[in-house]
A and B are shown apart, each in its own frame.
Chain A
Amino acid sequence: MLEARLQDGVVLKKVLDALKDLINEANFDCNETGLSLQAMDNAHVALVSLLIKAESFDPFRCDRSLSLGISLTSLSKILKCSGPSDVLTLKASDQIDTLHIMFEGKDSERVSEFDLKLMDIDSEHLGIPDTEYDVCVNMCSLEFQRICRDLSVLGESVTIECSKESIKFSANGDIGSGAIQIKQGATIDEKKELTTTINVNTPVLATYSLKYLVNFTKATGLSDVVNLSISNELPIVVEYKVSELGYIRYFLAPKIGDDEE
């Protein structure tokens, strides 16, 4: 039995927007700590890991672990039917193979209810080791989105170079090349006095697919800050906070030069 009420229902809508272009369907795992999801894209290049903590919901009840196989495309369609300030409630029971979704407008004047059929999805779960990354960057999420978008005009991949106190994104293509550099301390949000932080253990130089990164930035609406964890020869982690306590993390395998020829 699962019952979860999300005061700020629009968060789930944003989460779905951030997921649905990367994966079509996935299992939502529900237990007493909250809702989580892990899935890879078909090519096994990117992985997304989502956690919405139980504390984000009020109330949250899940007395038995549940795995809900959900078509993200379909769920996203249903969530589009909600208003911007609706309160959202998710319900699933052990016997029924549907997910019940309810939107309540302000003062409960309008209540809409949907039932989404669940699916049986066979998925692989990857074990992600806890690693210390060479570089950790906190920067403005809108800025990151813009960089990825701008550079994708030039080429298919971006090279990220990070050394003391600055991160440089560059791309090469048929029409030319481009580079964007962000320095430590660059403003993220003036009112909140948030600034860019760059922590470097070891300088990195790595190349990633822009198509995927642009896809990840669909989560920009969830958080002002994006956190990039980069190591040489490891997948990059792009993390956005979800309603303060949870997160959506994207892992992307780097592009590697051909080793043998």
Chain B
Amino acid sequence: MGIKDLTKLIRAHAPDAIKENLIKNYFGRKIAIDASMSIYQFLIAVRQTEGKQLTDDSGETTSHLMGTFYRTIRMVENGIKPVYVFDGKPPTLKSGELEKRKGRREENEASLKEAVEEGNLENQEKFEKRTVKATKEHNDECRRLLKLMGIPFIIAPCEAEAQCAALARAGKVYASGSEDMDTLCFSTPILLRKLTFSEAKKEPIMEIYLDKVLEGLGVTMDEFIDLCILLGCDYCDSIKGIGPHRAFNLIKEHKSIEKVLINLDKKKHPVSEDWPFAEARELFRKPEILEDDNIDIKWTDPDEEGVVDFLVKEKNFNEERVRKGVQKLKKNRKTVVQGRLDGFFTTAPKDSTSESEKPLKLGKRKTEDKKGGVKKKVDTKKSGSKGKPRR
């Protein structure tokens, strides 16, 4: 999933590109959410205390519905307007990765069986989580629920992240919401992570700006994509023996994978002849997406009885809670939106004054402040951007 160690690399070289913010500061924002990723998360994370998935009377899993319902409401309550994007068909290049995942799942299923036979509860839970797969039924049920909730969704022709990124780029939404770092490779201007996390975790949302990532790493978008391929993406293997640090230096030095390959010691780092890096690059650069003219995103009033019929009658949810949730959705449809100053005033260019007139900046409490800052953020629920070390 995603790009290996990219977050670490960004943290090291472009710390300014990552900001943490609280969910309440996203009011009024439209956000495209990678639905397939969220459903998978819900299947893993939304569980009973014994670690079992939530099920209805007939034993069918309902974790994904629970997650989609309540976490969407949490976003809407905070003034966010979510639009979900579902995966279409996987790109052919991903088949290798998918094959691997399937293999791993089969292994885990075997281990799970073993654990059940042995009665090892801890392992049972561990392997059970690893065998989780979001099926077509899960996806269909979520779509049905979203429709009843009045939340729009789009089915991408191919990868959902790519479609999210396209929506953000076209200005249809403020950002893409996904855990998958490769959304950045599809050039989303802003990526939000941890958006659909449970409230109980008290985790701030991680906001990653592509322009600052590129600036901090000192690479162009094309170089960035090549870097991500070297780090290891879903579409092709990475080169053996090349870690994040090495990959970054190679791209900085040679600018493209082609040139890296020419200069690489093939004995130490064997590269297969038909390594499909160029195809992977094409996928990132020109992914299969719906053009934005064909996309109609509209939030509508929730169908209370429909939601109740589905969740309560079919899936055995608690009626009172479901109705309360729908009420929240309805309430938030009516409230007026608080404007932002960014819409009225523009950011003045930094350091517009000439070098000699530039004010001297005092203050060096870097490390202490950072520690204190992060902690405080969670406690007070108030601060968003804390003092950070200056570039």
| Mask: chain A, 232-252; 1 = CB below 8 Å from B; 0 = not | 001100000000000000010
Residues of B in contact, count (CB < 8 Å): 44
Within the assembled complex, what's the spacing in Å between the Cα atoms of A43 and B361?
Answer: 25
Residues of chain B lying within 8 A (CB to CB) of residue A82: none
Are A121 and B359 neighbours in the complex by a CB distance under 8 Å?
no
Residues of chain A lying within 8 A (CB to CB) of residue B338: 43, 45, 209, 253, 255
**Is the C-beta of B388 less than 8 angstroms from some C-beta in chain A?**
yes
Are A257 and B360 neighbours in the complex by a CB distance under 8 Å?
no
Q: A24-B383, A261-B298 are in contact. Are A254 and B339 (CB under 8 A)?
A: yes
**Is the C-beta of B266 less than 8 angstroms from some C-beta in chain A?**
no
**Is the C-beta of B262 less than 8 angstroms from some C-beta in chain A?**
no
How close is B30's CB to chain A, nearest CB, in angstroms?
10
How close is B389's CB to chain A, nearest CB, in angstroms?
6
Residues of chain B lying within 8 A (CB to CB) of residue A121: 363, 387-388
How close is A160's CB to chain B, nearest CB, in angstroms?
14
Residues of chain A lying within 8 A (CB to CB) of residue B357: 65
Residues of chain B lying within 8 A (CB to CB) of residue A4: none
Are B359 and A29 neighbours in the complex by a CB distance under 8 Å?
yes
Partner among B362, B382, B390 whose Cβ is within 8 Å of the Cβ of A92: B362
**Is the C-beta of B98 less than 8 angstroms from some C-beta in chain A?**
no
Partner among A27, A122, A129 whose Cβ is within 8 Å of the Cβ of B385: A122
Partner among A45, A71, A125 whose Cβ is within 8 Å of the Cβ of B340: A45
Residues of chain A lying within 8 A (CB to CB) of residue B358: 65
Residues of chain A lying within 8 A (CB to CB) of residue B342: 44
Partner among B21, B299, B344, B346 whose Cβ is within 8 Å of the Cβ of A261: B299
| Mask: chain B, 7-42; 1 = CB below 8 Å from A; 0 = not | 000000000100001101101000000000000000
Are B387 and A25 neighbours in the complex by a CB distance under 8 Å?
yes
Are B365 and A118 neighbours in the complex by a CB distance under 8 Å?
yes
How many contacts between A and B, using CB within 8 angstroms?
A: 138
Within the assembled complex, what's the spacing in Å between the Cα atoms of A119 and B366?
Answer: 7
Q: A120-B390, A122-B390 are in contact. Are A44 and B361 (CB under 8 A)?
A: no
Which one of A30, A94, A122, A251 has the highest number of Cβ atoms from chain B below 10 Å of its Cβ?
A122
Residues of chain B lying within 8 A (CB to CB) of residue A68: 362-363
How close is B340's CB to chain A, nearest CB, in angstroms?
5
Are A44 and B344 neighbours in the complex by a CB distance under 8 Å?
no
Q: A126-B341, A261-B299 are in contact. Are A119 and B360 (CB under 8 A)?
A: no
Residues of chain B lying within 8 A (CB to CB) of residue A46: 341
**Is the C-beta of B51 less than 8 angstroms from some C-beta in chain A?**
no
Are B336 and A157 neighbours in the complex by a CB distance under 8 Å?
yes
Q: Which residue of A lies closest to B334 (CB)?
A: A258
Within the assembled complex, what's the spacing in Å between the Cα atoms of A255 and B341?
Answer: 11
**Is the C-beta of A52 less than 8 angstroms from some C-beta in chain B?**
no
Within the assembled complex, what's the spacing in Å between the Cα atoms of A23 and B348?
Answer: 20
How close is B119's CB to chain A, nearest CB, in angstroms?
51
Residues of chain B lying within 8 A (CB to CB) of residue A235: 339, 341, 344-345
B-facing residues in A106-161 (Cβ within 8 Å): 117-122, 124-129, 157
How close is B191's CB to chain A, nearest CB, in angstroms?
19
**Is the C-beta of A31 less than 8 angstroms from some C-beta in chain B?**
yes
Q: Which residue of B lies closest to A1 (CB)?
A: B360
Are B345 and A42 neighbours in the complex by a CB distance under 8 Å?
no
Q: A67-B362, A261-B299 are in contact. Are A120 and B343 (CB under 8 A)?
A: no
**Is the C-beta of A18 less than 8 angstroms from some C-beta in chain B?**
no
Within the assembled complex, what's the spacing in Å between the Cα atoms of A168 and B300?
Answer: 34
Are B387 and A47 neighbours in the complex by a CB distance under 8 Å?
no
| Mask: chain B, 364-387; 1 = CB below 8 Å from A; 0 = not | 111001000000000000111111
Residues of chain A lying within 8 A (CB to CB) of residue B363: 68-69, 97, 117-121
Are A47 and B359 neighbours in the complex by a CB distance under 8 Å?
no
Are A117 and B365 neighbours in the complex by a CB distance under 8 Å?
yes
Partner among B21, B298, B389 whose Cβ is within 8 Å of the Cβ of A120: B389
Partner among A122, A234, A261 whose Cβ is within 8 Å of the Cβ of B16: A122
Are A69 and B387 neighbours in the complex by a CB distance under 8 Å?
yes
How close is A40's CB to chain B, nearest CB, in angstroms?
6
Are A255 and B339 neighbours in the complex by a CB distance under 8 Å?
yes
**Is the C-beta of B350 less than 8 angstroms from some C-beta in chain A?**
yes
Are B341 and A253 neighbours in the complex by a CB distance under 8 Å?
yes
Are B348 and A125 neighbours in the complex by a CB distance under 8 Å?
yes
**Is the C-beta of A217 less than 8 angstroms from some C-beta in chain B?**
no
Which one of B16, B369, B388 has the highest number of Cβ atoms from chain A below 10 Å of its Cβ?
B369
**Is the C-beta of A256 less than 8 angstroms from some C-beta in chain B?**
yes
Are A67 and B361 neighbours in the complex by a CB distance under 8 Å?
yes
How close is A2's CB to chain B, nearest CB, in angstroms?
10
How close is A170's CB to chain B, nearest CB, in angstroms?
14
**Is the C-beta of A66 less than 8 angstroms from some C-beta in chain B?**
yes
**Is the C-beta of A207 less than 8 angstroms from some C-beta in chain B?**
yes
| Mask: chain A, 64-92; 1 = CB below 8 Å from B; 0 = not | 11111101000000000000000000001
State the 7 A-B residue pairs at the shortest beta-carbon distance, nearest first.
Answer: A42-B384, A118-B363, A65-B359, A253-B339, A69-B363, A127-B348, A126-B345
8 A-B pairs, CB-CB below 8 angstroms?
A25-B386, A43-B25, A45-B339, A69-B363, A120-B363, A120-B364, A122-B16, A256-B337
